[in-house]
Structure 1
Amino acid sequence: MIKKRASVVDTNENHVQEKDTIITDKGPTIGCRHVQAILLFFAFFFGLGSRTNLSVAIVAMTDNTTSPNPDVPTYNWTNTSVMLSAFFWSYISLQILSGYLGKRYGPKYFLLVTSIINCLAVGLIPVAAKISSYGVIVCRVVQGLAQGFLDPSIHVMLGTWIPNEEKSTLCNFIFAGIFSGTIFTSVLTGYLSTSWLGWPWSFYILAMLNFVWCIFWGIFGQNSPATHPRITKEEKKYIQRSLQQEVEDKLPTPWLQIFTSVPFYATMAGYIGVILGHTLLTTEIPTYLAKVMNFKLKENALLNTLPTLAGALVGLATGPLSDWIIVKGYLTRLNARRMFHVLGSFGGALFYVWLSFLNSSQPYTSVVLITLGSGIFSLVLAGSNVNHLDLSPKFAGITFGILSSAGGIASTFPPLLVQWIVLDQTSTDQWRIVFLASAGFYVAGALIFYFFASASRQPWDGPEEKDAEERN
């Protein structure tokens, strides 16, 4: 039984509220869409794990007291911030193209081939380090090129596989792979770096595990419900009706309409704020804890997992809560997106401001604040992070490619900001400027998103029946 989407007008508040399609026959309890979600979870898990691994390993790579094994190499590098940001130089260059190619030809094999390249680049970092820091930079640039296909390809999959009724739930489950991969990498790298094996094995093991994922993806990954050989008719109909994509089409990309869309730019502003905060957390907080709060590497790695764990748990809870609020009609989709994004951004900013006024005698207070800030900040996963799917499920890969390009450029900023401002890594005054600037970015992005965002499917997404505009 299928109930069609309806619009209910509340004349007292002068806004239109969208009632979601309710489809009772969704196919198997664990369907093909869930298998794809699990595969995409691990795509983010290993992709982000290998992306952030260097942030923890760099401490051991430049400290000859970390491992008890004297044969583990260490280096006297002064350009570590450049090494950390090098990934994003190439990462941003392929975002739009990869989204377009994924939309036009399907993302499966692009994601497979580039993931294999990423495995090779990660595994070669210890070898390249023996040459010079520039060898590591080259590997990071190759990683960036390979992972330039990761996020847009996954978002193409989200636009074709995730029904509207389960959007926040399944998307946030998949996004939890980002947090979980970071947690796993921090613990693994911290443990191995202080063991006899040393930091090189953190790169080798991540490369091997990522390659195992590539095998599973090659076997079970599918571009869409329409091309899946084993999906049931009920599940296929459920997904296609929910996304209004019962006809497989090859629409031309509406580039002009996308680049002149005010709601899309509002989503971009919110997303950039999110990226700036996440990049600072994953790339620079380990250094802050080590140099200002004087945590040892193994302890640092373990403590650094707490903010990520908090973010993952809040993110997993936020998805079902957001979907429930929308389906029950307590908030329109637009106001739900606004609420979660503003609460997450302002909450995260508040904890960064508080953190900026701590000193080295308050190490565990800093960990608590970073953990709480990361947890509440993860509310944004039900805000701007899924909003582009509201605007255009058909062109989700392309729109996210544009967002990710902007985010990739923004991602180069936190490491460089730290390098410019934090001339003395033990100075709390210099770190205060970094944290206050980050809080300002959170707030600015959230305000733009609140006032200019939309949650309606845009006219340029295709000729199907359009959703009613949600207003407040």
Structure 2
Amino acid sequence: MDISPAKVLSSLGSNQDEKEGRRENKDDNYQEIDVGATEGMQRAEEAAPTKAKAEEGRRTCECWRARDSLALAGFVAFAVTSCMRVNLSVAIVAMVAATEDGAQWNASAPPPPPQPGGVLAWDEPTQGLLLGSYFYGYIVTNIAGGRAAERLGGRKVFGLGILLSAILTLLSPISATTSTALFVAVRMLIGAASGVVFPAMNALLSVWIPPSDRAKFSTIVFAGLDFGKMVGLPLTGWLCASGTFGGWPLVFYVFGGVGLVCASFWLLMVSDCPEAHPRISQEEKDYIVRHCGKKSGRTGPFPWRAMMTSLPVWSLIIVHVGHNWGSYTLITQLPTYLKNIYHFDIESNGLLSALPYLTMWIFSMVYSGFMHTISHRISVLSVRRISMAIAAYGPMFGLLTLCVADLSSTMAVVVLCVAVGISGAMYSGYMCSHQDLAPNFAGTLFGITNTLANIPGFAAPQLTGVITEGNQTVSAWRTVFLISSAVYFVTGTVYLLFISAEKQPWNEYSPSAKKEEKVVVTEGGDEKT
């Protein structure tokens, strides 16, 4: 089955286009649509029968549309960003000087072959700090990135984030050999530059993608992260093993160079909104504006007080934190686990570390298509709950299996592939909840939840480093996996109990939102604080 992003998008476009002409004929004399009127139309459409809504959004005659290009560009950009994020988790194995202290191999695995060491004397806590330093910077810029994208445009904010990340990645080898502290600072800055991309993309999708198309398009775009891990991890292992330019430095040169090319094409090909796109057809532009509204240059204040007292929002924050804890434990520690417990060499390590994400990418694409197909038969809330039950409890059982069973190296990899793969259901679960709860503030809301959810990005590796320092044993890694299993269970259960698929009252911009900023508008138009 061919499920490449281009094929999925082309198929989506061709299937949608057949029925688009009928209602579009009514709008040949289309004039500017007022945003408030558009929102009223959207509310009316939401009240329509679900099956009828499933037939909406099938317009424009092109086989490939401007929003398809946006989705494909987003997919590639997220893949490159993912490569720059995870490359250190494999490269660090080649960077660190070899040591036998505390090493112990699994009885089910063959004795470890001699492995070449690096030149950098970093102990386990230092490695944990380096692996987590990306996230120290990442959490700082999420909220600011969301607001900046809403005010300045998602294209510019997203493209600048990728460009700066690429430049800093190119500087990583010299910084690592110069000073550990300098390398930590560079990784933090890469994280800060990357922190704006998720909120900026949410802002773009809210303007470009009609509600009926968002589930599929969001999955295609965000699945670029998994594709990047799938390509980046084995490629990092291969580049390290090649020995060219010292092996591991080549990793940063390659991904940094690709990042520069990607940022350049993004800034040239993508526009902030349909109205500003130079190559979009009038028919497609009219259709998008009809369902998404015209992009406004001014945004209202964010309803902080109402958001912080919303139980569904807190359930979203909690599940986001929990899922990231488990995910980042696997992303940053899987190569080290495979090396020290199952004794894979650096090249095999990168390839095997990528297999779970190949599974996740394939599963997420197939699963989102299936859920889209049956969405007219079940409620949106049921889609979210089913998806997150799979995405939370599936990895939990996988990690528990690693804890209680003495697995061979082959079976361990199979379990990890299944555990990580089925977590791809999250793209149809909590990753859509931001737009469910507050579509008008989805970018900023994602920035808020993602800021808190990336605390595990540095906390999980640090805790793993403390547990496994001088104690690279099966028992120590079981403790790591038990903690992650408990986090998956508790946070997933909270989401299932308290999440909502309804728009929250504070989503609508109103004078009460103004009141939260202590601003009163008089009848004469004057503002008083």
TM over 0.5: yes
Instruction: Give the corresponding residue for 2:17.
Output: none
Asked whether the equivalents of residues 149 and 203 of structure 2 are also in contact (C-alpha less than 8 Å), the reply is yes
Would the alpha carbon gap of residues 106 and 27 (structure 1) be closer, same or farther in structure 2, given more than 3 Å must change?
farther
Report whether the alignment pairs 1:57 with 2:105. Answer: no
Distance, in Å, in 2 between the alignment partners of 1:18 and 1:332 is: 14
Cα deviation digits, residues 264-289 of structure 1 (max 9, x gap): 22222222222112111110011111
SS of aligned partner of 1:40: helix
Asked whether the equivalents of residues 112 and 217 of structure 1 are also in contact (C-alpha less than 8 Å), the reply is yes
* Paired residues, number: 451
Report whether the alignment pairs 1:289 with 2:338. Answer: yes
Report whether the alignment pairs 1:145 with 2:192. Answer: yes
Q: Which amino acid aligns with 1:417?
A: L
Cα deviation digits, residues 389-436 of structure 1 (max 9, x gap): 222222221011001101111222210120222234521111111111
Instruction: Give the corresponding residue for 1:467.
Output: none
Distance, in Å, in 2 between the alignment partners of 1:255 and 1:221 is: 31
Q: Return the offset for 1:249.
A: 6.2
Task: Select the residue among 31, 48, 71 that pairs with 2:82.
Answer: 48
Distance, in Å, in 1 between the alignment partners of 2:225 and 2:415 is: 21
Distance, in Å, in 1 between the alignment partners of 2:55 and 2:459 is: 42
Distance, in Å, in 1 between the alignment partners of 2:135 and 2:147 is: 20
Q: Return the offset for 1:187.
A: 1.3
Instruction: Give the corresponding residue for 1:266.
Output: 315
Q: Return the offset for 1:140.
A: 0.3
Task: Select the residue among 472, 475, 482 that pairs with 1:429.
Answer: 475
SS of aligned partner of 2:296: coil
Q: Which amino acid aligns with 2:507?
A: D
Instruction: Give the corresponding residue for 1:199.
Output: 248
The runs of at least 4 consecutive aligned structure 1 residues that moved more than 6 Å come to none
Q: Which amino acid aligns with 2:333?
A: E
Q: Return the offset for 1:47.
A: 0.9
Would the alpha carbon gap of residues 442 and 307 (structure 1) be closer, same or farther in structure 2, given more than 3 Å must change?
same
Task: Select the residue among 155, 168, 180 that pairs with 1:133.
Answer: 180
SS of aligned partner of 1:39: helix
Would the alpha carbon gap of residues 273 and 64 (structure 1) be closer, same or farther in structure 2, given more than 3 Å must change?
closer
SS of aligned partner of 2:140: helix
Would the alpha carbon gap of residues 24 and 180 (structure 1) be closer, same or farther in structure 2, given more than 3 Å must change?
closer
Instruction: Give the corresponding residue for 1:470.
Output: none
Asked whether the equivalents of residues 7 and 19 of structure 1 are also in contact (C-alpha less than 8 Å), the reply is no
What are the residue-to-residue correspondences of 1:342-357 with 2, within 5 Å?
342-357=389-404
Asked whether the equivalents of residues 168 and 322 of structure 1 are also in contact (C-alpha less than 8 Å), the reply is no
Instruction: Give the corresponding residue for 2:137.
Output: 90
Would the alpha carbon gap of residues 227 and 179 (structure 1) be closer, same or farther in structure 2, given more than 3 Å must change?
same
Q: Which amino acid aligns with 1:370?
A: L
Q: Return the offset for 1:20.
A: 5.0
Instruction: Give the corresponding residue for 2:411.
Output: 365
Distance, in Å, in 1 between the alignment partners of 2:183 and 2:274 is: 40
Q: Return the offset for 1:357.
A: 2.5
RMSD value, Cα: 2.4
Report whether the alignment pairs 1:306 with 2:351. Answer: no
Distance, in Å, in 2 between the alignment partners of 1:112 and 1:167 is: 21
Q: Return the offset for 1:135.
A: 2.1
Asked whether the equivalents of residues 159 and 395 of structure 1 are also in contact (C-alpha less than 8 Å), the reply is no
Q: Which amino acid aligns with 2:79?
A: F
What are the residue-to-residue correspondences of 1:193-272 with 2, within 5 Å?
193-197=240-244, 198-243=247-292, 245-246=293-294, 248=296, 250-252=298-300, 253-272=302-321
Distance, in Å, in 2 between the alignment partners of 1:5 and 1:229 is: 30
Cα deviation digits, residues 321-358 of structure 1 (max 9, x gap): 222222xx211111111111112211111011001234
Report the TM-score when normalising by structure 1. 0.90
Report whether the alignment pairs 1:445 with 2:487. Answer: no
Distance, in Å, in 2 between the alignment partners of 1:155 and 1:453 is: 20
Would the alpha carbon gap of residues 24 and 39 (structure 1) be closer, same or farther in structure 2, given more than 3 Å must change?
closer
Report whether the alignment pairs 1:168 with 2:168. Answer: no
Q: Which amino acid aligns with 2:47?
A: S
Would the alpha carbon gap of residues 462 and 61 (structure 1) be closer, same or farther in structure 2, given more than 3 Å must change?
same
Distance, in Å, in 2 between the alignment partners of 1:264 and 1:133 is: 39
What are the residue-to-residue correspondences of 1:322-471 with 2, within 5 Å?
322-326=371-375, 329-359=376-406, 362-462=408-508
Q: Return the offset for 1:318.
A: 1.8
Q: Return the offset for 1:242.
A: 3.1
Instruction: Give the corresponding residue for 1:12.
Output: none
Cα deviation digits, residues 62-109 of structure 1 (max 9, x gap): 1469xx9x9x96211111110010111121111111111111111222
Structure with higher Rg: it is: 2
Gapped runs of 5+ residues in structure 2? 1-21, 24-40, 100-113, 511-529
Instruction: Give the corresponding residue for 2:64.
Output: 30
Distance, in Å, in 1 between the alignment partners of 2:62 and 2:310 is: 38
Q: Which amino acid aligns with 2:434?
A: H
Asked whether the equivalents of residues 160 and 394 of structure 1 are also in contact (C-alpha less than 8 Å), the reply is no
Task: Select the residue among 86, 106, 119 that pairs with 1:74.
Answer: 119
Cα deviation digits, residues 113-166 of structure 1 (max 9, x gap): 232211111111110111122221111011011112121111111222222222
Would the alpha carbon gap of residues 230 and 425 (structure 1) be closer, same or farther in structure 2, given more than 3 Å must change?
farther
Instruction: Give the corresponding residue for 2:45.
Output: 5
Asked whether the equivalents of residues 175 and 186 of structure 2 are also in contact (C-alpha less than 8 Å), the reply is yes
Distance, in Å, in 2 between the alignment partners of 1:415 and 1:73 is: 21
Asked whether the equivalents of residues 334 and 455 of structure 1 are also in contact (C-alpha less than 8 Å), the reply is yes
Report the TM-score when normalising by structure 2. 0.80
Distance, in Å, in 1 between the alignment partners of 2:48 and 2:58 is: 21
Q: Which amino acid aligns with 1:99?
A: G
Q: Give percent identity, aligned residues only.
A: 28
Distance, in Å, in 2 between the alignment partners of 1:246 and 1:24 is: 19
Q: Return the offset for 1:261.
A: 2.1
Task: Select the residue among 227, 243, 263 that pairs with 1:180.
Answer: 227
SS of aligned partner of 1:417: helix
Asked whether the equivalents of residues 8 and 19 of structure 1 are also in contact (C-alpha less than 8 Å), the reply is yes
Q: Which amino acid aligns with 1:434?
A: V
SS of aligned partner of 2:47: strand
Would the alpha carbon gap of residues 247 and 305 (structure 1) be closer, same or farther in structure 2, given more than 3 Å must change?
closer
SS of aligned partner of 2:496: helix
